[in-house]
Structure 1
Amino acid sequence: MKKFYVIFTIFYLLYAGAIAVYLLQLEPGYVPEMYKGTASDPAQFMTAGEIKEAYHLQLIEYFTYFLSTPLDLLILILIMAFSVKIRNKAINIAKKSRWQLAYYYTVLTIAMTLLYLPLDLFFYHLNLRYELSSQSFLSWSIDFAIGFALELVLGFLFLLFLYWLIAKQPKKWWLTMAFLSLSFNILILFLAPVVFMPLFNDYQPIQNQELKAEIQELAKESGIPNAKILEMNMSKQSNGINAFVTGIGSNKMIVLGDTAIENMTTEEIKFVIAHEIGHYKLNHIYNSLILAFILSFLFGYGTYKIYHVPLKNSGIIGAWKNKLILQRCRCFSCRSSSLQCLFHRL
């Protein structure tokens, strides 16, 4: 395993070097000849210093973007290496399966959070450095803690249900899970605007009545006349300008950041809102739900097949499987033999 990490690190550094060389070839403020002097040319509305700052920020964002995927893979491999140890510790600490699962998931989530924390802090300070945010560290920490708590609670409840489902339907759990995950995603989409989003920001009816009337007319023309129109204190986290459409059913709403209201004209705001409404008109939300269902189906079925691959009763693998078959399972969802236990197959 150590040899693998050494090889992976060498290739990762070479990959990072190649990305850096490529990005450094980019020209600051480059604009195709046909767009120079037009409204698309940054030189028309930015100073030379601002263009240089934007170029530096762009380099950093591109660099971290291209490095993130192999980094995610490395972190996943690291976590997998410690997964069995965490599981064994959970079995020794707790007798009941639900507490074993709680310990395992909590430790795993904390480990993942700590591994990604330096990157989160980097982007927090990066946004401050380039004045994309003025959020205090205390406020950022509170938002971070709320997000972590939500991930911990919702993730644990999902896993608790999943392992109960595996125990009840050892051969069809993956199919049931796919349909239930679709229902769960719809529920989250419905509840997010009224339950989860208010944990991070304050929402209120838009105060500018003239602007509200303009947006209502635009929404009516677009086929969502009953959408709520709210403004949020986006300036709490960001100096950026944004608006979005969220929710489904009776919780469908158009949300406008206070930074947009303060810094954009009515026509500019309508342009941004029209873009967001376009996501609804083109059914992007429902398409995403369908895609999530398909991925859940494939992932569940693939997991089921992987853990039910027949192994020959010979050699090390055969002995390993025989040991699992004969061993009484004490962990998480299983009630009989470890044939139904995913964790004993890791």
Structure 2
Amino acid sequence: MARKIGLYGILAYVVYGLFFYWYLFYFADSSLQFEYEGSKADPATFLNGRELMLTEEYSKIRNLLFFLSTPFEWLFYLFILLLGFGNAFKKWAENSSKFKFVRTAIYLFWLSLFAFIATTPLNYISYSLSKSYNISTQSFSSWMKDELIDFWINFGMMIIIVAVLYWLINKSRKRWWLYAWLLSVPFTLFMMFLQPVVIDPLYNDFYPLKNKELETKILNLADKAGIPAEHVFEVNMAEKTNALNAYVNGIGSNSRIVLWDTTLNRLSDDQILFIMAHEMAHYVEKHIYFGIAGYLLLSLVGLYLTAKLMEYVIGKWGNALRIPAVNDIRSLPLFLMILSMLLFISSPLSNFVSRYQESRADHYAIEMTQNTEAAIGTFQELTRAGLSQVNPPLLVKIFRYGHPTMLERISMLEDYEINNKAKTNE
């Protein structure tokens, strides 16, 4: 049975990979409809021939890597179970300590280490790809440092999460998923509070915006929007990437407005103000809190489904997967695999909601700044800097895009400009 499950898993992954290779390289069409040709959303009007070619090449390969990486994670956990690595990890943990928490940490360390080793090649391919297309400027040592920081942060958080999770499962086999969700609410809020001041600075240096004239303009914009912001931060991303970005993160007193230095270097003040107005819209319309509520709702449903699916899978294939019971630590790879699958399946819904919020933020930003030329120029420069497709294939948009496509964003701005001129002429 174990061999059969493993064979079917490999075949499913190969068929899935071939499908997306065919879809992205031979079937999907990213060309514009006739009515958009020659418009400001047409990449041929603001990218040169080489940039157009590189955008198509880079996007197709990057999208293929995305679609291959998540199911590869599922395959990894499946083979951890089928090949008995879970049993080996548990024995190593039991032979190392008599304390349950320490044994859990040791088991988790070996599982995390094997996952890190298994996924690093795909991560490195993605890094090399962005480097070869001049998106990434990061040295290998710096990239590896970030990977190791990721490993230890995730490992540290997982020790607490997994120890509490299996304590709850042992206490209540029927309702552990509900208690786990209840505890995840304050934990999620706490991590969002810590993110800007504890976790983010581990990767990059943050400091107050050096351009005080621009900071004054941004703070005036924030005051106009009713946002109690006192400082704007910039982060040194130029040593890692040529891409552009800006964001507002954190909650409460730890919330921050952050600009990448690449954005400061490549965009004009008017373009940066449009980006800032967009980010402020998320605060004004309380998108952060709606996002938290949506995440918590999805996590409740996800934990419930995970609990039911774990019981079903272990009841039917527990022997082949070498999992004696749900409350055994060896069921952790199955838990992680099911949760990852549910996250992937639910991503079209979460992306749809995100695209709606981002579209609202775009409308808010242009109403506030009234500068369509700067706004359109911003999106064109974002496209150039990230080699992003203006009109990505449908499945890419559904599974990857938390923002409207550049075609949708620039077209909205052109329509806004036309409508404004019509009102002025009336």
Q: Name the TM-score class by shorter chain.
A: 0.7 to 0.9
Question: Are the aligned partners of 2:20 and 2:67 in contact in 1 as well (CA < 8 Å)?
Answer: yes
Question: Are the aligned partners of 2:193 and 2:254 in contact in 1 as well (CA < 8 Å)?
Answer: yes
Structure 2 gap segments, 5+ residues each: 319-323, 333-426
Larger Rg: 1
Deviations 1:203-223 (A, max 9, x none): 111111221122112222223
Question: Are the aligned partners of 1:227 and 1:253 in contact in 2 as well (CA < 8 Å)?
Answer: no
Following the alignment from structure 1 to structure 2, what is the Cα–Cα distance between the partners of residues 243 and 94? 46
Following the alignment from structure 2 to structure 1, what is the Cα–Cα distance between the partners of residues 39 and 326? 65
Aligned length, in residue pairs = 323
**1:228 aligns with one of 222, 231, 234:** 231
Deviations 1:289-324 (A, max 9, x none): 223323443444456667789x99xxx99xxxxxx8
Following the alignment from structure 2 to structure 1, what is the Cα–Cα distance between the partners of residues 178 and 67? 35
Following the alignment from structure 2 to structure 1, what is the Cα–Cα distance between the partners of residues 138 and 308? 47
Question: Are the aligned partners of 2:227 and 2:284 in contact in 1 as well (CA < 8 Å)?
Answer: no
Following the alignment from structure 2 to structure 1, what is the Cα–Cα distance between the partners of residues 119 and 32? 35
CA shift, 1:239, in A, is: 0.8
Other-structure match for 2:75: 74
Other-structure match for 1:23: 24
Following the alignment from structure 1 to structure 2, what is the Cα–Cα distance between the partners of residues 77 and 25? 31
**2:283 aligns with one of 269, 280, 284:** 280
Other-structure match for 2:204: 201
Deviations 1:119-165 (A, max 9, x none): 11011111110000111111111111111111111211222333444
Worse-superposed segment, 222-231 or 191-200? 222-231
Worse-superposed segment, 52-61 or 18-27? 18-27
Q: Does 1:116 align with 2:119?
A: yes
Worse-superposed segment, 17-26 or 105-114? 17-26
Worse-superposed segment, 98-107 or 32-41? 32-41
Q: Does 1:35 align with 2:21?
A: no
CA shift, 1:258, in A, is: 0.4
Question: Are the aligned partners of 1:245 and 1:254 in contact in 2 as well (CA < 8 Å)?
Answer: yes
Paired letter, 2:103: Q
When normalised by structure 1's length, the TM-score is 0.83
Deviations 1:25-45 (A, max 9, x none): 368972222122222121222
Following the alignment from structure 2 to structure 1, what is the Cα–Cα distance between the partners of residues 20 and 180? 40
Paired letter, 1:218: L
Residues 27 and 3 (structure 1), Cα distance of their counterparts in 2 relative to 1, 3 Å cut: closer
Residues 264 and 18 (structure 1), Cα distance of their counterparts in 2 relative to 1, 3 Å cut: same
Aligned 1:313-332 pairs, distance under 5 A: none
Question: Are the aligned partners of 2:195 and 2:250 in contact in 1 as well (CA < 8 Å)?
Answer: yes
Other-structure match for 1:49: 50
When normalised by structure 2's length, the TM-score is 0.68
Deviations 1:145-193 (A, max 9, x none): 1111111112112223334445566665443322221101111111111
CA shift, 1:74, in A, is: 1.4
Question: Are the aligned partners of 1:84 and 1:343 in contact in 2 as well (CA < 8 Å)?
Answer: no
Q: Does 1:343 align with 2:329?
A: yes
Aligned 1:153-164 pairs, distance under 5 A: 153-164=156-167
Residues 227 and 68 (structure 1), Cα distance of their counterparts in 2 relative to 1, 3 Å cut: farther
CA shift, 1:83, in A, is: 2.2
Following the alignment from structure 1 to structure 2, what is the Cα–Cα distance between the partners of residues 292 and 229? 27
CA RMSD of aligned residues (A): 3.0
Question: Are the aligned partners of 1:203 and 1:233 in contact in 2 as well (CA < 8 Å)?
Answer: yes
**2:272 aligns with one of 254, 269, 272:** 269
| Higher helix content, 1 or 2 | 2
Following the alignment from structure 1 to structure 2, what is the Cα–Cα distance between the partners of residues 132 and 251? 30
Following the alignment from structure 1 to structure 2, what is the Cα–Cα distance between the partners of residues 247 and 345? 34
CA shift, 1:228, in A, is: 3.0
Following the alignment from structure 1 to structure 2, what is the Cα–Cα distance between the partners of residues 29 and 305? 40
Residues 57 and 307 (structure 1), Cα distance of their counterparts in 2 relative to 1, 3 Å cut: closer
Aligned 1:228-307 pairs, distance under 5 A: 228-302=231-305
Paired letter, 1:15: Y
Paired letter, 2:186: S
Paired letter, 2:329: F
**1:215 aligns with one of 203, 213, 218:** 218
Other-structure match for 1:100: 103
| Identical-residue share of aligned pairs (%) | 33
Following the alignment from structure 2 to structure 1, what is the Cα–Cα distance between the partners of residues 169 and 4? 36
Structure 1 gap segments, 5+ residues each: 318-323, 325-338
Secondary structure of 1:226's aligned partner: coil
CA shift, 1:100, in A, is: 1.2
**2:188 aligns with one of 168, 180, 185:** 185
Residues 279 and 137 (structure 1), Cα distance of their counterparts in 2 relative to 1, 3 Å cut: same
